Amino acid sequence: MRTWLQPVVIALVVVAAFLSCYLGLQRDPQPRGIPVAVAGADLPGQVGQALGDRVDIRPVADAAAAREAVLRHDAVAALSADGQGGLELRIAGAEGASNTSAVKALVGAYAGGAGLHLTTEDVVPLAPADARGLAGFYLAFGVSLAGFVLASNALGLAGALLLRHRLWLLAGTSLAIGTVAAIIAGPVLGAVPGALVPLALTLALLAAAAGFTTKLLGTYLGPIGLPVATLVLLTLGNAVSGAVVGADLLPTAARALSPLLPPGAAVRAISDLSYFHGAHAMGPVLTLALWAAGAALLIWLRPRLTRHRTTTVPA
């Protein structure tokens, strides 16, 4: 009975989790604390009072400083008076359609209620080959999937390759995955305009994080390790990455989890490297490196921990 039930239960859990994550998160996204730089003496307070906690108002000295906050990736949008009795909203299209649409709707409602004319300018537009802003999601998902498949195959090579050779296989192939993905997404298709070398290294770290983590779970958990990796990395990780539904529109728990999982960290790094000159890429890159290095270390320690337990058991 257990032989029959295990694959059935695993399959049902995976499909339920996948649909719950992707369809559930997109059902009714609500903005919470979207960072908006607002210029002027009175405007920040007025906008903050009208929009409440749906936005995180960041007062700045003038319109130029507000625009610079968007270019530095410190704010999703910038709002200022246009000098003619109206308002000017500057957005970063590279933040994704869900975030920018939410900001435009919120500020548009405020301007309409105040009887002010609103003009909008996209100061960080998406690449022409990424009109819907989903390149980062597909790139992170594809690289994560490749790392998962790589590790799944490596788990079956335990009897053919030494552990150190399997670890080198994962590391070397992860570098190749990242390089190929960066070349296809960047120079070939033009969907991700980041510099090739930093982008390739970031994607290599994502592949290594997915690969080593999958190998770790398969090594320690046995047959259920791969389904657990599927749920954590491919399902939950990509669903809350912030690429399809903007991170500022995710529920509180998902928003907190998003940057801690490899796909979410990768999406942030890809966006920063491609559109914001790597302004905040260091944190996500370190997150990916910690996942990859930590999982590799635990895999390497597994035989030593097993031998230690064996030698300490009384005869």
Q: What is the pLDDT of residue 260?
A: 96
At 187 the three-state DSSP class reads helix
Residue 95 and residue 246 in contact, taking contact as beta carbons nearer than 8 Å: yes
Q: Given CA atoms 202, 207, 211, 217 in this order, what sign does their dihedral have?
A: positive
Q: What is the pLDDT of residues 276-302, one digit of tens each?
A: 999 899 999 999 999 999 999 999 998
Dmax over CA atoms of the chain, in Å, equals 88
- Report the side by side order of strands in the sheet with 77-81: 55-60, 34-39, 77-81, 87-91, 118-122
Closest by CA to 306, choosing from 223, 227, 219, is 219
Quick: pLDDT tens for 105-132: 999 999 999 999 999 999 999 999 998 8
What percent of the chain clears pLDDT 90, i.e. is strictly above it?
A: 71
Residues 6 or more apart in contact with residue 173 via CB below 8 angstroms: 150, 207, 211
How far apart CA 70 and CA 124 sit, in angstroms, is: 8
For position 313, what pLDDT does the model report?
Answer: 47
Share above pLDDT 70 across residues of the chain, in percent, rounded to a whole number? 97
DSSP assigned state of 127: P
DSSP state, 231? I
Q: Tokens for 291?
A: 């996942």
Beta bridge pairs of residue 91 = 77, 122
The residues, any chain, with a CB within 8 Å of residue 104's CB and separated by 6 or more, are: 89, 91, 120
d(CA 40, CA 250): 30
- pLDDT number for residue 307: 65
The residue to which tokens 């046995």 are assigned? 222
Would the pLDDT of 49 be above 70?
A: yes
| Kind and range of the H or E run holding 15 | helix 2-27
Which of residues 309 and 142 earns the better pLDDT score?
A: 142
Looking at residue 208, what is its pLDDT?
Answer: 97
pLDDT in tens, 191-241: 999 899 999 999 999 999 999 999 999 999 988 899 999 999 999 999 999
Query: Contact at 8 Å (CB) between 292 and 150?
Result: no
| 181 vs 163 pLDDT, higher one | 181
Indicate if the pLDDT at residue 314 is higher than 50.
no
Find, among 206, 212, 217, the residue nearest to 141 by Cα.
206
Residues 204 and 180 sit within 8 Å (Cβ to Cβ): no
Cα-to-chain-centroid distance, residue 9? 29
- Tell me what the mean pLDDT of segment 39-49 comes to: 91
Q: Which residues have a Cβ under 8 Å from the Cβ of 278 and sit 6 or more positions away?
A: 198, 272
| Burial class, 315, CB count within 10 angstroms (exposed 0-12 / middle 13-18 / buried 19+) | exposed
